[in-house]
Amino acid sequence: MTTASYTLVTGEQVHRIDHPSGLTIYVYPKEGYRSSYAMFGTRYGSVDTAFVRDGRHIEVPEGIAHYLEHKLFENEDCDAFARYAETGASANAFTSFDVTAYLFGCSDNFAASLEILLDFVQKPYFTEQTVQKEQGIIGQEIRMCDDSPDRRVLFNLLRTMYQKHPVRVDIAGTVESISHITPELLYDCYYTFYNLHNMVLCVCGNVDVETVCEVADRVLIPAKDLSLDMALPEEPDEVSAPFVEETMPVAAPLFYLGCKCPVKGRYLSDREMAACELIVDLLTAPSAPLYAALMRDGLINDSFGGEFFEGRSFAMFLLGGESADPKQVQQRIDEELTRLRNEGVDRERFEELRASLYGRMLRRFNSVENAAMCMMDDHFHERAPFAQSEAIAALTAEDVDRILREWMIPAHETLSVVKAKEDV
């Protein structure tokens, strides 16, 4: 077993353990904290519908990663939630585009709760009867999501922005796609992606390395490192279409303006991520001149905001909210982007935003949940723990100018709108 330690800007330390089982473990002790938090994640999400394992090309139904997450809580003996009830831990799980994670938070009985987490995730149990039962449950969940305007405006955008990349497919799949899921397919995906070499455990709070390693030594089952390649298609830089619109019962039109970043087969660097987050603030922060002008002209309300997110071979800016005239909002945003590309970001404004971004990054250290999530994200995106704090400190206005010039151009944009029929 090998270990390494990272000293954070707060003076605290994060310890990395390369466990003999194949699992990478991060332990972030927080002095004075009573609560503890753990996340056990795998580099596996909704985009992984085609992959190559040991030279064999495999294709599986859309939504199977999310489906597998649901089923893993049940095993032959009992439900994992029933076991957590005995320790008092609060447990949950989620599936994103490229990660599935199982988690719990607790104030007491950390070691016992950690044992439950590591144990049930390593014990898949699928039968024809339980798989068919889950199809009805998840099918109902999919139908409810289809009726959500907020979800429709987002996934309409992704389907229109991306031409080939499976990020364009809803994480839960469709009622049709999940009907093809079988126990055999679930086991195939489980033993491909739930390999400890493809996973990470992140714990934070009232924890110590010795306790975590003792539980890991006792519970983890050593895994053989598989030959695994993700079969993601090559995605063009340009969007599939610049506009998509749908009518639904909404009180006010909803919109998302997406800007697709031309990344192929890589994750963004720490500096690129920091620059992209600063650009979001540059456009959507309440202190931004653009925000003030749009608000003054009645084109947006306080729902307007933005985010930047990336995953395996995809990255995008998302700006959105409610507006009676989304196309006019897009035009004003494009005018501001043109000005920024021509003039560059104001250096005084850049320093203000960089200081604000750095402060937000430091606040993540105060939450055990956010800290664990950051460690997992950094690991799966091939970055050192909390490396972005150093990247923000080193960020320059020139870094921001480059991304504004090269990435944020009209050919990379898609506008998605959901509006009421009477607005047509």
Which residues are known to be catalytic? 69
Three-state secondary structure call for residue 354: helix
Sorted by sequence, the CB contacts under 8 Å of residue 9 that are 6+ apart come out as 362, 386, 389, 390, 393
What DSSP element (H or E) covers 239?
A: none
- Backbone dihedral angles phi then psi of residue 381, each to the nearest 5 degrees: -100, 15
Query: DSSP state, 186?
Result: H
Three-state secondary structure call for residue 140: helix
Which among 372, 252, 352 is positioned nearest to 302, based on CA atoms? 252
Query: What angle, 0 to 180 degrees and rounded to 10, lies between the N-to-C axes of helices 110-121 and 80-87?
Result: 170
Which among 14, 223, 215, 231 is positioned nearest to 119, based on CA atoms? 215
- Backbone dihedral angles phi then psi of residue 21, each to the nearest 5 degrees: -70, -20
Over 76-126, what HEC string results?
CCCEHHHHHHHHCCEEEEEECCCCEEEEEEECCCHHHHHHHHHHHHCCCCC
71 close to 186: Cβ distance less than 8 angstroms: yes
Alpha carbon distance 295, 419 (integer Å): 20
Could you list the beta-strand ranges (E) of 165-242.
199-205, 228-230
50: which 2 tokens?
A: 């085609």
417 close to 257: Cβ distance less than 8 angstroms: no
Query: What are 56's strand-pairing partners?
Result: 53
Alpha carbon distance 412, 185 (integer Å): 36
204 close to 103: Cβ distance less than 8 angstroms: no
Tell me which residue has tokens 């033993």: 191
Q: Residue 248, class by beta-carbon neighbours within 10 Å (0-12 exposed, 13-18 middle, 19+ buried)?
A: middle
Q: What share of the chain is helix, strand, coil (3-state, %, to 5)?
A: 45, 20, 35
